[in-house]
Structure 1
Amino acid sequence: MTDDREVPAPTTDTAARGHAERCAAFRALHVPGRPLLLPNAWDHASAAALAARGHPAVGTTSLGVAAAAGLPDGVGATREETLGLARLLRDVPVLLTVDVEGGFDDDPAQVAAYVAELAGVGVVGVNLEDGRADGGLADPALVAATIRAVKVAVPALFVNARTDAWWLGVPEPLPEALRRARTFREAGADGIFVPGVPDPETVGLLAAEVGAPLNVLYRPGGPGLAELGRLGVARVSTGSLPYRAALGAALAVVDAVAAGDAGAGSAAPSYAEVQGLAVR
């Protein structure tokens, strides 16, 4: 006999356990020497396509999110757009980590509340950076206080603390990056992200010294995934590169059509393939 009784909705405790398990699964992907390749998406289609390609985790790119909305990156302008994208991606079968720039607020409690909203729609990690719109680095004590507040609000969430010591041209970037990495790690950061590291030797030194899984940014012409693994890296992000490459590809195919290239765009995904990425 068919049981027509209504199945109860998951309880809050059940949802919390499920989120904690997803956070743990994401954390387990960070293995020094066997780096997680983390591609970065900027909309539903890009995230869904990456998930369909078999990537277990996807990040967002703050430049891609900002540029797609007609806004500048790195100035705290995309708080709502970032949250909206996380909501849109909640049903994509992938572990999602979100770039929140500097947290979109200088008040650690407000950043923690925002990150808790992200966690509420299934986000398992955030990137939190110390670079600021004025071209300087935030007070490491403030960043540490923000990390602590986030970890109190959502203990299971993977906080990837980023220092822009190289990107912002600090005179002695290595000791500054190490000092900040230690401060952020002591505050509860789960990983340390150092984009812009110029050479493999420094990458290896950072991997050995930061005391947490090291995340670096893939650079065309720089070390590949295998070499970064040998250096002890645990995560390699593509950052805004896929978004910029997509823009480049769009311009290239239009230029090719204008030039009379009969094969222009032949390698692009089909209409049906893209349609298949839509939310059902």
Structure 2
Amino acid sequence: MSTADFAAFYDLHHGAEPLLLPNAWDHAGAAALVAAGCPAIGTTSLGVAAAHGLPDGEGRTREQTVVLARRLTQLPCLLTVDVEGGFSDDAGEVAELALELAEAGVVGVNIEDGRGEGTLADPGAQAGLITAIKDRVPGLFVNARVDTYWLGVDTGSLAPTLDRARRYADAGADGIFVPGRLPDIAAVAEGVDLPLNVLYLPGGPSVAELGQLGVRRVSTGSLLFRTALGATVDTAVAIRDGSEPALAAPSYSDVQRLIG
């Protein structure tokens, strides 16, 4: 991956409007998003795991994640990859994964501090993983995810979230991702001196409204995957029950052109 691509992805977090980052789980979906004009695509760990019959968040999809990343870097877009917690607690192994992805053409990674059974990683150890990545691949955009509100841990005030975010920033992170329903998005954005990434939530603020609150990146997370899953079932059930499917699908030729 060229330094120009790293810089281009960084710049998308500092534009006039927030970066909407749609998250894909396969080549066809990512190709369709690129065709729709999305300059950058992320992967979704839930989508990747579920598509392979595996649970999310247990560090079991390293191989599948790398394989998908190599496939998606062939598309004309910038790609950032969700690596869960790094698929290892060993900083050297996490750094090697980052290098492998960067050499494949990836421009960023999203690494979370949530761990199994609803717990959070020690922030010092998590900061060590971030530093190891940045030491190994300085240009790679590291989006450090703080899972306090996602897991409902240490949410009595914003202080624990901001403390983790600042420690990850000091470790070299390029952006901070705080998913979940935040009580004060503007306060989080103001309290962290890095681009703030939040999760788009149906019924919540629009991308433009989030931008006004100081957000610089909005991820769809697993929403597109879950929407596709729901549409698949709804379509099959409608056909079975003698109804017309509610959604119009791309044609066979449309899909062939996407991957041609």
User: How would you bin the TM-score normalised by the shorter chain?
Assistant: over 0.9
1:258 matched to which residue of 2? 240
SS at match of 1:182: helix
Q: Name the amino acid aligned to 1:97.
A: T
- Post-superposition offset of 1:34: 1.6
1:69 matched to which residue of 2? 52
Alpha-carbon contact 1:45-1:277 (below 8 Å) kept: yes
Question: Among the aligned pairs, what percent are the same residue?
Answer: 59
- Post-superposition offset of 1:121: 0.6
* Residues 1:196 and 2:180 aligned together: yes
2:36 matched to which residue of 1? 53
Structure 1's 33 and 210: CA in aligned 2 closer, same or farther, altered over 3 A? Answer: farther
- Post-superposition offset of 1:168: 1.4
Give the Cα–Cα distance (whole angstroms) in 1 for the partners of residues 138 and 182 of structure 2: 33
1:185 matched to which residue of 2? 169
Give the Cα–Cα distance (whole angstroms) in 1 for the partners of residues 133 and 32 of structure 2: 30
1:215 matched to which residue of 2? 197
- Post-superposition offset of 1:32: 6.9
* Residues 1:160 and 2:172 aligned together: no
Q: Deviations over 1:89-124 (max 9, x none)?
A: 121111000000000000111100011000011000
SS at match of 1:167: helix
User: Runs of 4 or more off by more than 3 Å in structure 1?
Assistant: none
Give the Cα–Cα distance (whole angstroms) in 2 for the partners of residues 96 and 71 of structure 1: 23
Q: Name the amino acid aligned to 1:186.
A: D
2:75 matched to which residue of 1? 92
Candidates 178, 188, 194, aligned match of 1:206: 188
Alignment length (residue pairs): 259
Give the Cα–Cα distance (whole angstroms) in 2 for the partners of residues 266 and 155 of structure 1: 44
Unaligned runs of 5+ residues in structure 2 are none
Q: Deviations over 1:129-150 (max 9, x none)?
A: 0000131100101111111110
Give the Cα–Cα distance (whole angstroms) in 1 for the partners of residues 246 and 53 of structure 2: 26
SS at match of 1:50: helix
Q: Name the amino acid aligned to 2:245.
A: A
Alpha-carbon contact 1:23-1:158 (below 8 Å) kept: yes
2:255 matched to which residue of 1? 274
- Post-superposition offset of 1:203: 0.4
Q: Deviations over 1:170-218 (max 9, x none)?
A: 243511110000000000000000001334xx10001111110000000
Q: Deviations over 1:201-244 (max 9, x none)?
A: x1000111111000000001111111101001000000000000
RMSD: 1.2
Alpha-carbon contact 1:95-1:123 (below 8 Å) kept: yes
SS at match of 2:111: strand
Q: Name the amino acid aligned to 1:239.
A: G
Q: Name the amino acid aligned to 1:243.
A: F
2:104 matched to which residue of 1? 121
Unaligned runs of 5+ residues in structure 1 are 1-17
1:15 matched to which residue of 2? none
SS at match of 2:150: coil
1:11 matched to which residue of 2? none
2:225 matched to which residue of 1? 243
SS at match of 2:151: coil
- Post-superposition offset of 1:31: 2.5
Give the Cα–Cα distance (whole angstroms) in 2 for the partners of residues 221 and 235 of structure 1: 18
Alpha-carbon contact 1:32-1:214 (below 8 Å) kept: no
The structure that has the greater radius of gyration is 1
Give the Cα–Cα distance (whole angstroms) in 1 for the partners of residues 9 and 253 of structure 2: 31
